[in-house]
Structure 1
Amino acid sequence: MIRDHSDNLFEQCAWFYAICREYLFRDHTAEITEALFPEDGPLSGTYVLEVGCGPGFYSRRLAQRYPTIRTMGIDMSARLLEWAKVRASNLRLQNCSFREGDAQALPELNAPVDAVICSRLLLIVPDREAVLAEVFRILRPGGRCFFAEPTSAFKTRIPLLGMHLAANIISRSGRWSGKPHKAEVLCHKAFCDLIHTQPWKSVSIQSTTGYQYAVCQKPYAEEDLTLEGVCERVEEHTLKNWSVA
């Protein structure tokens, strides 16, 4: 079924947001790899999902850095996904894919998800708790997720304002009124409260200039007493020792 997202700002001005993501926003690849993967890197076949991927920045970055893993980006904007697919194709990434989907109601996937990335997503979605619930649901037992959210309301609104101005210029009516109308930055308490709406096994929350981060791990299934499950438990100390430079 083809969905109409013509009133979505990220669909109308996909090119503007893609440029911002590629060249202006902070790159958290180092923090993501340190938080989600063991010291020796991800295991072969690790499945990473980027929720609200936009132009697929982290899906492409991780697929390029770790050729033996699989990454998938999910977003509602068909135009941003097209940008992501073209970039991945130009890089000849066979282990990177993209599909349309809503972060508040993620589609079923054909394999367990080992790790999830959500960057600059919670400030624009209508139902943040639904996003947290979906991330928790789709992760395999013991899987980890990484959230990165900006803390500067002023800096966050600049790209959105630019997109609105561009949309007004290209709109036939001269005034575009689609969504989102604004980006709502979470204060630290609201961010912590939101993260803890799910029954994580462990949570590490850090703040730096301009951003706040959360790394969460889903509890293991009670029946997971295999050697692999035990080994994964041993790796849990990486969450406790994780920090942002």
Structure 2
Amino acid sequence: MEQSECEVADRSLVHQSDSLFERCSWFYALCREYLFRDHTQEIVRSLFPVEPPAPGTKLLELGCGPGFYACRLSEELPTLQTTGVDLSVALIERATSRAKSRQLSNCSFQHADAHSLPYPSHSIDAVVVSRLFLIVPDKEGIVREIHRVLRPGGRCFIAEPTSGFRTRLPLAVMWILSRLTTSPAGKDREPQVADVMSRPDFKALVETQPWGSMELEYDGWYQYAVCRKSSTNA
């Protein structure tokens, strides 16, 4: 595979030293691999419930981190064109290396802010979001961006943890690791405590957009939303 097929989109972007996910990207990658739940099969069933995606179907993962879902979905559904976006350059580089090692020509990554996605309206077929709303400042703005970039009839899968202690532990460890290195306290852009949403707050957040259909589910550790954009909403 040519390196250009799966590379960081903008090499001119510099590492952002004010982020825990830059300095502790290795720790977050370990958590994503071994601690967080794998929802790959639930994502596949939710986004493509009737038949496999057609060739060239565009899937976007927001807050992709080390590229866990983007790579897994590209492997399981080779007809997808999967793109992962994240604000951490270090994690994007890890994700790119992961895809390259698996020779995934249908998987790419881009440094971008989920609050302002660099994609045209109605250009994406499916969106995956997992654990992103724990740390972002404008949750509603991200849901609005998801709705904007989805094509009419497109679907999104959102998974957010419900367990306070277990959810907050990785971020707390990252703060401790950061304090033991070179960064002075209070300089990171991430919050010190992950924002775990209640069921009513999660439902209210998802309902801020005029979805054609919406399904909410809960289990002991996660809450889920599977939303479909109206076919007439262009």
* TM-score (structure 2 length as normaliser): 0.90
Tell me, which stretches of 5 or more residues in structure 2 are unaligned? 1-11
Question: How has the CA–CA distance of structure 1 residues 176 and 19 changed in structure 2, closer, same or farther, with 3 Å as cutoff?
Answer: farther
Residue 163 of structure 2 is aligned to residue 178 of structure 1? no
Residue 211 of structure 2 is aligned to residue 215 of structure 1? no
Listed one character per residue, the Cα deviations across residues 204-234 of structure 1 (whole Å, up to 9, x for unaligned) are 00001100000000011379xxxxxxxxxxx
> Residue 63 of structure 1: which of 55, 74, 88 is its match?
74
Question: How has the CA–CA distance of structure 1 residues 81 and 39 changed in structure 2, closer, same or farther, with 3 Å as cutoff?
Answer: same
Which position in structure 1 is the counterpart of 2:64? 53
Residue 144 of structure 2 is aligned to residue 133 of structure 1? yes
Runs (4+) of structure 1 exceeding 4 A deviation are none
Moved more, 128-137 or 31-40: 31-40
Contact 1:144/1:216 (8 A) holds in 2: yes
Please list, as runs of the form range in 1=range in 2, the aligned pairs for 1:1-245 lying within 5 A after superposition. 2=13, 5-108=16-119, 112-171=123-182, 173=184, 175=185, 177-180=187-190, 181-221=192-232
Which position in structure 1 is the counterpart of 2:6? none
Tell me, which stretches of 5 or more residues in structure 1 are unaligned? 224-245
Question: How has the CA–CA distance of structure 1 residues 78 and 4 changed in structure 2, closer, same or farther, with 3 Å as cutoff?
Answer: closer
Distance 2:129 2:168 in 1: 19
Partner SS for 2:85: strand
Aligned residue type for 1:67: P
Distance 1:210 1:133 in 2: 25
Distance 1:118 1:112 in 2: 17
Contact 2:125/2:150 (8 A) holds in 1: yes
Which position in structure 1 is the counterpart of 2:9? none
Which position in structure 2 is the counterpart of 1:233? none
Which position in structure 2 is the counterpart of 1:241? none
Percent identical among aligned pairs is: 49
Aligned residue type for 1:159: P
The aligned length equals 222
Aligned residue type for 1:199: P
Q: CA deviation at 1:4?
A: 5.9
Distance 1:3 1:137 in 2: 28
Contact 1:150/1:212 (8 A) holds in 2: yes
Which position in structure 2 is the counterpart of 1:238? none
Aligned residue type for 2:107: C
Listed one character per residue, the Cα deviations across residues 167-217 of structure 1 (whole Å, up to 9, x for unaligned) are 1112165x4631312211000000000000000000000001100000000
- Whose radius of gyration is greater, 1 or 2? 1
Question: How has the CA–CA distance of structure 1 residues 177 and 49 changed in structure 2, closer, same or farther, with 3 Å as cutoff?
Answer: same
Contact 2:47/2:157 (8 A) holds in 1: yes
Question: How has the CA–CA distance of structure 1 residues 23 and 109 changed in structure 2, closer, same or farther, with 3 Å as cutoff?
Answer: farther
